[in-house]
């Protein structure tokens, strides 16, 4: 049985509440049906209601490409969605900053007051909940399996209701329910690396006791039992994701929590007032635990710990208005002073003066081309109209595309950055010390050099040799040699007639194909035809089509697909699972089986042979090498990435780049942007002046 991935184990641990919720001395619950919950109560009358409108008003005006499809925090998957959800949903812990200038990270408590490893005093739970001990005795386990979560005193929902351990148990039951079909739950199940049917068995068969457990020890304490051994840091990291939902607002499992303000309650610094016609309005939640109310009624919040030696004010905005608009409309709103925050495209960013408040960073998003290499599927695709699609069976042809693809031109069309690897620059390791980009590590850089450069070219290469996104030495001549070899192999096998044109449809999404994607693929078309000229092939045409996404490649419907893969920036090793674990992730390629691809490595003092899926799983929570330091995991992760690249069944093209532009009305106290913690986002926006009421503005 696969073991749960370490970083997600917290949520996983919390997730079992549906099967394992109990009080001390009781066995696991025998029924899945949720207990009745009272309707939302009015704000308490025994204490004055905080006045969130007192004091100066500051409105942060944000122009966005789109609002979230759902305001349900459990639906949040992408970094931007999670960052947005964190404004109105409290998490047990958060990743904070000790240095905005230098990028220091630390754990900070949010709704939790403390998190402790209590395995030694709860060994009985290891047997009760069926924890995987790897052949060891429960009596010998002192750490890594049972954790105590102590809630802060006085934490409340936005309506004044107290937040209790029961709310977390209810929330995780909702999070784990397969009937809700939430993106967040699906992402978690995949992240957890659990066997197929994990969530269904966990929720539907409570007698199995689940894989892990969560129960209430008292009115402020939760006890979490994990399926496999995890470090305290990994456990805390998993608690940083916002998943708390209010039972009274849930309206029963299966409804759309957060589809409108009336169907949700908030637990973070802000609450959602309205969300309609492409505009959302968030205001301060008066009961959030972080506010301090002064004699004049104004509320202010400061960091719990010093940042660069100072306690810094945060969440200065009293109102946040988010309006959807196209890039050109957003630009005009910004130039006219009607917007404080926009996401400019690369062209507009290039026009900005050097003093502009512009922040840019790599995003944990990878754009790639995926290939179908299943002979039977390709034969059917050719019969349906894709001419010569069977050339994709040839590894040298696919390698030629990889070496010839003009990644820089394609990335420019996508407003991104060229990328040669499968893991983007935003992903870091050494999370608990000084975050270091995986992409800049020596093992990862060496793996890329071995894929894109010849042995002679690799000698003496500098670490940054491939930083530009185009492999030094992998010239059009190298790509041309691959196409020439492919032509010889294909014609000799009788699977291609020299000079015939090649036409392959690329599945680019369920709706209309974005112009940026079409232009990026056009750039790749031009570069591969230039490299293949003279090899004997006819014109090669890759044509973007809508109505189907990259998963249609694995279903045998398309020969190629355009893939958009989003990562958790704090877990580069987890990211590998999205490429290799077919039991959890819908496969985007066909004909390549990572469970059949063997990799032999000298690792951990011995030569080991495992398939790519086993190697990737071994690096995550509960895996064989999960407790190795990140620096020790790097060689194995890089080796898996290298083998995946050498299959040429997925060719990375670009990574996302996020740009944020601030008006001169607001500023940010940091100097560099941070894509995985949101430091410098809405939390640390500072205003140069309070809002001026309309009547006063008229007088001025």
* Same-domain pairing of 167 and 253: yes
Q: What is the per-residue pLDDT across 529-538, written as a single tens digit (0 to 9) for each?
A: 999 999 999 9
Lowest mean pLDDT among 36-45, 401-410, 670-679: 36-45
Question: Looking at residues 417-446, what average pLDDT do you find?
Answer: 85
* Six-digit token string for 39: 């309707």
Helices 515-532 and 395-404 meet at what angle, rounded to 10?
110
The pLDDT > 70 percentage for the chain reads 75
Last residue of a domain, one of 276, 292, 308: 292
How far, in Å, CA of 425 to CA of 476, rounded?
26
How far, in Å, CA of 465 to CA of 407, rounded?
16
* Same-domain pairing of 288 and 430: no
Q: Does residue 674 lie in a domain region?
A: no
Q: So what's the pLDDT on residue 209? A: 34
Angle at 616 between CA 438 and CA 614, to 5 degrees: 165
Res. 84: pLDDT tops 70: yes
- Give the best-scoring range by mean pLDDT among 426-440, 469-483, 515-529, 604-618: 515-529
Angle at 511 between CA 80 and CA 660, to 5 degrees: 25
Question: Looking at residues 271-296, what average pLDDT do you find?
Answer: 89
Q: So what's the pLDDT on residue 695? A: 53
- Give the best-scoring range by mean pLDDT among 222-231, 378-387, 686-695: 378-387
Res. 253: pLDDT tops 60: no
On whether the CB atoms of residues 520 and 411 are closer than 8 A, the answer is yes
Q: Does residue 308 lie in a domain region?
A: no
- Give the best-scoring range by mean pLDDT among 8-22, 30-44, 92-106, 216-230: 216-230
How far, in Å, CA of 317 to CA of 320, rounded?
7
Last residue of a domain, one of 292, 317, 333: 292
Q: Does residue 640 lie in a domain region?
A: yes
Q: How confident is the model at residue 49 (pLDDT cuts 50, 70, 90)?
A: low
**Helix or strand (DSSP H, E) at 179:** none
Q: Does residue 123 lie in a domain region?
A: yes
User: Cα-atom radius of gyration of the chain, to the nearest Å?
Assistant: 27
**β-strand 104-109 against 93-99: which pairing, if any?**
antiparallel
Res. 421: pLDDT tops 60: yes
Q: What is the per-residue pLDDT across 484-506, written as a single tens digit (0 to 9) for each?
A: 999 999 999 999 999 999 999 99
- Give the best-scoring range by mean pLDDT among 44-58, 220-234, 427-441, 593-607: 593-607
Q: So what's the pLDDT on residue 77? A: 67
Would residue 337 be called left, alpha or beta, if left means φ above 0 and alpha means ψ between -120 and 50 degrees?
A: left
* Same-domain pairing of 418 and 552: yes
Greater model confidence, 211 or 337: 337
* Same-domain pairing of 278 and 382: no
Average pLDDT, the chain: 78
Query: Residue 19 sits in a domain of what CATH number?
Result: 3.40.190.10
Res. 226: pLDDT tops 90: no
Q: What is the pTM of this model?
A: 0.79
Q: So what's the pLDDT on residue 434? A: 67
* Same-domain pairing of 246 and 153: yes
* Same-domain pairing of 419 and 506: yes
- How many residues can be counted in the chain? 700
Question: Looking at residues 145-168, what average pLDDT do you find?
Answer: 92
Q: What is the per-residue pLDDT across 197-222, written as a single tens digit (0 to 9) for each?
A: 333 333 333 333 333 477 889 999 99
Q: Does residue 90 lie in a domain region?
A: yes
On whether the CB atoms of residues 107 and 93 are closer than 8 A, the answer is yes
Q: Does residue 344 lie in a domain region?
A: no
Q: Does residue 41 lie in a domain region?
A: no
Q: What is the per-residue pLDDT across 541-560, written as a single tens digit (0 to 9) for each?
A: 999 999 998 889 988 999 99
Total domains present in the chain: 2
Res. 32: pLDDT tops 60: no
Residue identified by tokens 């940010």 is 668
Query: Residue 405 sits in a domain of what CATH number?
Result: 3.10.105.10
* Same-domain pairing of 547 and 629: yes
Q: So what's the pLDDT on residue 540? A: 97
Q: So what's the pLDDT on residue 650? A: 94
Question: Looking at residues 2-20, what average pLDDT do you find?
Answer: 32
- Give the best-scoring range by mean pLDDT among 356-360, 556-560, 662-666: 556-560
**β-strand 666-668 against 650-662: which pairing, if any?**
unpaired
Is the CA virtual torsion 576, 577, 581, 586 positive or negative? negative
Q: Does residue 593 lie in a domain region?
A: yes
Closest CA to 89 of 289, 266, 257, 290: 266
Greater model confidence, 257 or 609: 609
Last residue of a domain, one of 292, 322, 353: 292
Residue identified by tokens 């910004």 is 334
* Same-domain pairing of 511 and 630: yes
* Same-domain pairing of 272 and 374: no
Give how far Cα 695 sits from Cα of 74, 339, 700, Å: 42, 20, 9
Question: Looking at residues 234-258, what average pLDDT do you find?
Answer: 69
Question: Looking at residues 559-588, what average pLDDT do you find?
Answer: 79
Q: So what's the pLDDT on residue 34? A: 25
Q: How confident is the model at residue 680 (pLDDT cuts 50, 70, 90)?
A: low
* Same-domain pairing of 185 and 288: yes
* Same-domain pairing of 168 and 277: yes
Question: Looking at residues 627-640, what average pLDDT do you find?
Answer: 87
* Same-domain pairing of 371 and 265: no
Would residue 457 be called left, alpha or beta, if left means φ above 0 and alpha means ψ between -120 and 50 degrees?
A: alpha
Greater model confidence, 147 or 431: 147
**β-strand 560-566 against 357-371: which pairing, if any?**
antiparallel
Lowest mean pLDDT among 242-251, 265-274, 391-400: 242-251
Domain that holds residue 400: 363-656
Q: So what's the pLDDT on residue 655? A: 94
Greater model confidence, 39 or 292: 292
């Amino acid at each position: 049985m696969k073991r749960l991935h370490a970083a997600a184990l917290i949520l996983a641990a919390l997730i079992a509440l549906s099967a394992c919720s109990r009080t001390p001395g009781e066995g696991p619950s025998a029924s899945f049906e949720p207990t009745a919950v009272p309707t939302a109560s009015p704000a308490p009358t025994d204490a004055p209601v905080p006045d969130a409108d007192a004091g100066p008003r500051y409105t942060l005006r944000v122009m966005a490409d789109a609002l979230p499809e759902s305001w349900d925090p459990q639906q949040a998957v992408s970094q931007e969605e999670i960052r947005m959800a964190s404004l109105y949903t409290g998490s047990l812990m958060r990743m904070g900053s000790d240095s905005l200038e230098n990028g220091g990270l630390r754990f900070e408590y949010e709704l939790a007051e403390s998190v402790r490893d209590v395995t030694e005093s709860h060994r009985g739970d290891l047997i009760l909940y069926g924890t995987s001990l790897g052949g060891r005795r429960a009596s010998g386990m002192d750490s890594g399996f049972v954790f105590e979560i102590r809630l802060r005193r006085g934490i409340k929902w936005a309506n004044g209701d107290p937040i209790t351990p029961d709310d977390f148990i209810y929330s995780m039951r909702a999070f784990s329910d397969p009937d809700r079909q939430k993106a967040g739950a699906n992402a978690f199940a995949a992240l957890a690396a659990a066997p197929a049917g994990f969530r269904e068995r966990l929720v539907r068969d409570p007698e199995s006791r689940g894989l892990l457990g969560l129960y209430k020890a008292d009115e402020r304490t939760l006890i979490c039992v994990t399926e496999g051994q995890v470090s305290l840091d990994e456990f805390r990291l998993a608690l940083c994701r916002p998943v708390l939902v209010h039972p009274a607002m849930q309206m029963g499992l299966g409804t759309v929590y957060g589809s409108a303000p009336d169907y949700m309650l908030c637990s973070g610094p802000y609450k959602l007032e309205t969300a309609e016609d492409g505009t959302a309005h968030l205001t301060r939640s008066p009961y959030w635990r972080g506010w301090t109310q002064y004699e004049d009624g104004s509320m202010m919040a400061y960091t719990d710990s010093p940042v660069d030696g100072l306690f810094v004010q945060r969440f200065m905005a009293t109102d946040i208005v988010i309006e959807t608009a196209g890039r050109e409309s957003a630009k005009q709103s910004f130039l006219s002073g009607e917007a404080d925050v926009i996401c400019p495209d690369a062209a507009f960013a290039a026009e900005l003066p050097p003093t502009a408040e512009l922040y840019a960073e790599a995003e944990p998003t990878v754009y790639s081309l995926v290939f179908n290499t299943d002979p039977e599927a390709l034969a059917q695709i050719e019969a349906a109209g894709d001419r010569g699609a069977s050339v994709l069976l040839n590894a040298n042809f696919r390698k030629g595309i990889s070496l010839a693809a003009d990644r820089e031109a394609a990335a420019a069309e996508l407003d991104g950055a060229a990328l040669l690897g499968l893991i983007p620059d935003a992903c870091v390791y050494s999370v608990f010390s000084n975050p270091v980009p995986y992409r800049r590590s020596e093992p990862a850089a060496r793996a890329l050099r071995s894929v894109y450069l010849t042995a002679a070219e690799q000698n003496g290469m500098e670490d940054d040799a491939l930083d530009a996104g185009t492999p030094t030495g992998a010239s059009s001549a190298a790509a041309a040699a691959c196409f020439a070899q492919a032509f010889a192999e294909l014609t000799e096998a009788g699977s291609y007639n020299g000079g015939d044109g090649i036409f392959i449809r690329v599945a680019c999404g369920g709706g209309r194909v974005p112009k940026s994607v079409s232009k990026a693929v056009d750039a790749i078309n031009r570069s591969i035809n230039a490299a293949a000229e003279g090899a004997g092939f006819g014109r090669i045409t890759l044509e973007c089509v809508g109505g189907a996404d990259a998963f249609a490649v694995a279903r045998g419907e398309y020969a190629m697909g355009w893939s958009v893969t989003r990562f958790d920036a704090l877990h580069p090793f987890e990211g590998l699972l999205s490429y290799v674990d077919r039991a959890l992730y819908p496969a985007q390629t066909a004909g390549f089986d990572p469970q059949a691809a063997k990799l032999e490595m000298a690792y951990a003092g011995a030569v080991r042979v495992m398939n790519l899926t086993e190697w990737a799983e071994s690096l995550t929570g509960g895996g064989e090498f999960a407790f190795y330091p990140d620096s020790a995991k790097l060689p194995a992760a890089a080796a898996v990435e290298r083998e995946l690249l050498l299959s040429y069944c997925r060719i990375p093209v670009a990574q996302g780049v996020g740009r944020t532009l601030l008006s001169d009305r607001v500023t940010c106290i940091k100097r560099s942007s941070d894509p995985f913690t949101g430091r410098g986002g809405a939390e640390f926006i500072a205003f140069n002046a309070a809002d001026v009421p309309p009547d006063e503005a008229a007088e001025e």
